Amino acid sequence: MERILLGHGSGGRLMYQLIKEHFVPEFHLKTLNDSAVLEGIKQGRIAFTTDSYVVSPIFFPGGNIGELAVYGTVNDLSMVGAKPLYMTTGLILEEGFPLDDLKKILTSMSDAAEKAGIKIVGGDTKVVNKGKADGIFINTSGVGVIGKGIDIAPLKVKPKDKVILSGPIGNHGISVIAERNGLTFNPPVVSDTAPLNALVSDMLKKTKKIHAMRDPTRGGLATSLKEIAVDSGYCIVIEEESIPVPPGVKGACELLGLDPLYVANEGILIAIVKPDIAELLVKTMRKHLLGKETRIIGEVQESPSGMVLLKTAIGGTRIVEMLSGDQLPRIC
């Protein structure tokens, strides 16, 4: 009998196969964006998303499970070009969970919602017996509106499109694994947890020629790009030397035997855009605090279909696949 493995929640190949083979046919899903785009509503197009947060530890350098839940919801809505408006939250608490920790988490959620400009309008709380959870789990749902002329989805990707990355990779995953295992790195690695909606708003004010966006969380940059390549049917070619990896992340990955391309992020985005607007969009993004290190890291090619190729710093070419197995469990 086949059973669920930890790797089915990693955001990599196993999770992709689980969704494609089971959820898609049962729920008759047509697309696998971060948010569903709902048509046929008088007020316009609505984006709707839901997510669950089970990060361990719940407090980590640069954030905690509460603000992660808010920002994650905001970012998923933003990746389809929606303006986040409202969200609800459900908390599953384990018997014995410290009230002081709960207060810290709730305060951080309130502060994060105010910073991101989204309203928490409802929720639910359940308590389970000691040993039946891991302190606290948080589930969220969020709603946003999509403006006219915005149509962002992998199927819009075309050959010669440019691939833009808004910042350095790997900070969140390494900060979580370091805190979980009592590791310290020099320089320190702090999570990049942040709301991306203001950055996306600036981007959309400059141009509507954005074909696809993703925030590369579980599975990292590599898995997100592979998903877009498979869904679009085209090949994405990226340059290793163009991808910013902070010194602390690079050193930690070398020590732990990890590949930065697969390490989780929570405050950066990938944008695939028409080539004639790419340079101007990069300049616009660099004016925002969360986009100061924005750069073009590659482009879309006609073939080979569904593949991601990495041009390495030493002059070779490497095939990039989805995360296989479970590199960093419980990072969101």
- pLDDT value for 22: 86
Which whole-number Å values give the CA distances from 80 to 5, 49, 88, 135, in the listed order?
30, 10, 19, 32
Predicted local distance difference test score (pLDDT) of residue 8: 75
Q: Find, among 331, 270, 283, 297, the residue nearest to 75 by Cα.
A: 270
Q: Which residues make up the CATH 3.30.1330.10 domain(s) of the chain?
A: 31-146
Q: What is the pLDDT of residue 199?
A: 98
CATH 3.90.650.10 positions along the chain are 154-320
Report d(CA 9, CA 11) in Å as an integer.
Answer: 6
Distance CA 270, CA 196 (A): 11
Task: For residue range 30-71, list pLDDT tens digits in order.
Answer: 777 777 787 756 667 999 999 999 999 999 999 999 999 999
Q: What is the pLDDT of residue 36?
A: 78
pTM of the model: 0.89
CATH of domain 154-320: 3.90.650.10
Measure CA 227 to chain center: 12
For residue 326, what pLDDT is reported? 67
pLDDT at site 186 = 82
Residue 41 is predicted with a pLDDT of 64
CATH number of 31-146: 3.30.1330.10
What's residue 43's pLDDT?
63
Q: Exposure pattern of 83-101 as b/e (b: 16+ CB <10 Å)?
A: bbbebbbbbbbbeebeeeb
Token pair for 91? 């908390």
Residues of the chain with pLDDT under 50: none
